[in-house]
Amino acid sequence: MSEGPTKTWICGKCGTTVERWPGESDVTCTCGAEYNASGQRLRDDWRGNPSTWDDEIGDLEGYEIQHANDV
C-alpha cells in the first residue's frame, strides 16, 4: 500500500501545490518558500534570527538584533 502526502496546500509565493509527506517536518517549496509542518509559511529571513541557534536569545530579541541596522 502506497502512502500519499499527509497534507497539501497551495504555496503563497508561487501558487504551486506543496506536499508534506509522512516523516517530514518543515517543507520547502520549489520556489524556496518554507513552511512548518502545519503548513504555515515561514518568513523568508527566519534563518537570520539569532534565536534560531542561540538559546539565550528570545524570538523577539533575535528579530530586533537581526533588523537593528535596517533603515
What's the pLDDT tens digit per position in 58-69?
A: 999 999 999 887
Region 13-32: mean pLDDT is 93
Q: What is the pLDDT of residue 38?
A: 87
Give CA–CA dist 9/46, Å, rounded.
21
Q: Maximum CA pair distance of the chain?
A: 55
Model confidence at 1: pLDDT above 70: no
Q: How confident is the model at residue 14 (pLDDT cuts 50, 70, 90)?
A: very high
Average the pLDDT over 25-48 and give the result.
90
- Average pLDDT along the chain: 89
Q: Are 27 and 17 in contact (CB under 8 A)?
A: no
- For the chain, give every domain's residue range: 1-40, 45-70
Using CA atoms, how far apart are residues 52 and 48, in angstroms rounded to an integer? 8
